[in-house]
């Protein structure tokens, strides 16, 4: 007989699911050479763990997409608020990424 395995050993930990959850931030910013760096600077100061990033011109603006590890609703709202206050940013939206 092989080693016995308990059902508890097969259940994923709650923290495992938490580490898989991500927040998606969609930022509309000025299409200037420093706009992306300003947005990333805000995310860095807020200690957001960046998992994916894309940025592309969209008309006269730049569309920036940030995926970060979820750190709770309060942290997401704080990051969105700080991003919205950034001088180069015109709009911020955020939600869940699965």
The residue written with tokens 């592309």 in the block is 56
Residue 69 in this model has a pLDDT that exceeds 80:
yes
Per-residue pLDDT reduced to its tens digit, 5-55: 554 544 445 555 555 789 999 999 999 999 999 999 999 999 999 999 999
State phi, psi for 4 to the nearest 5 degrees: -80, 145
Residue closest to 25 by CA, chosen among 52, 61, 57: 52
Structure tokens that stand for 33 in this block: 């050479």
Specify the pLDDT at position 19. Answer: 56
Whether residue 94 contacts residue 25, with contact meaning beta carbons closer than 8 Å, is answered with yes
From edge to edge, which strands make up the β-sheet containing 50-58?
A: 50-58, 61-69, 22-30, 89-97
The pLDDT-based confidence of 96 (bands split at 50, 70, 90) is confident
Specify the pLDDT at position 11. Answer: 47
Contacts of 47 by beta carbon, 8 Å cutoff, 6+ apart: none
Specify the pLDDT at position 53. Answer: 96
């Amino acid at each position: 007989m092989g080693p016995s395995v308990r059902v508890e050993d097969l259940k994923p930990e709650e923290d495992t699911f938490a580490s898989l959850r991500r927040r998606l931030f969609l930022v509309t910013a000025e299409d200037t050479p420093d706009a992306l760096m300003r947005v990333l600077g805000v995310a860095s100061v807020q200690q957001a763990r960046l998992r994916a990033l894309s940025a592309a011109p969209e008309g006269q603006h730049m569309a920036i997409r940030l995926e970060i590890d979820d750190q709770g609703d309060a942290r997401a709202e704080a990051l969105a608020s700080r991003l919205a206050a950034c001088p180069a940013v015109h709009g911020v939206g955020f939600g869940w990424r699965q």
